[in-house]
Amino acid sequence: MNSKITVETIRAMKARGEKIAALTAYDYPMAKLLDECGVPMLLVGDSLGMVVLGYPDTTHVTMAEMEHHIRAAARAKPNALLGGDLPYHSYETAETAVADAKRLVAAGAEYVKAEGGKEILPQVKAIIAAGIPFCGHLGMLPQHVLEEGGYHIKGKKEEEHQRLIADAKALADAGAFAIVLELVTLPVAKEISQMISVPIIGIGSGPDCDGQILVTQDLIGAFPWFTPRFVKPVVSCAGEIKKAVATWQSAIGVAGK
């Protein structure tokens, strides 16, 4: 049996120049399957709002919903490092950030992730001081999609470029064990990955990050109604499910569509 993955394991992977694979898991069977595949880092992301719960964006996801799905994934007892997102408005102050991070840990999360840089440093420091591993999230911040009017690539403007570097340094200095970079220009993502000592895990930010994270449903074509432009599904699980249902319906004498 492989040894349990820890935040130190993830840090060491960067030091060795080993790419880090991370995927989302919102329930027991997916967490178990991905763990059996040897994926070292799993995230119960608030993206479950769209992929599982049918919300238009992540801003509708509640703490109770995050706890529910973390408990489900944690029941798989994965060898992988399992974390959870702090949902929208759950870390407005240092006090609420720590209290809500503790709720996610009690549900089974081994690390928590929150969106933002210098503006949430008090919250980040408080979470880490409470003994809870923290993963940062910079670039496009899905919890800010409404105020930003959609999903936009970050780092094109020099002001954004410098802010991303400053925020990444601040998070690393505060003790974050890793940072997700979402929809950041390839040159800026590469620069940050080379400059910052902690693992930089990209999503839609090019191949030069220390690792990659995807929503699993995007990777396997299980959410066919929307696929991000930067993802090429490896298989079409939705198509295979439709074929299986059609075959079964035919076998029991049900006329197909």
Catalytic site residues?
182
- Cα separation, 162 vs 212, in Å, equals 22
CA nearest 148: which of 86, 63, 58, 65?
58
Residue 93 CA: distances (Å) to CA of 77, 106, 138, 173, 205: 31, 20, 19, 20, 29
Strands 178-182 and 111-113 turn out to be unpaired
Please, are residues 113 and 84 in contact by the beta-carbon 8 Å criterion? yes
Q: Give the three-class secondary structure for 130.
A: coil
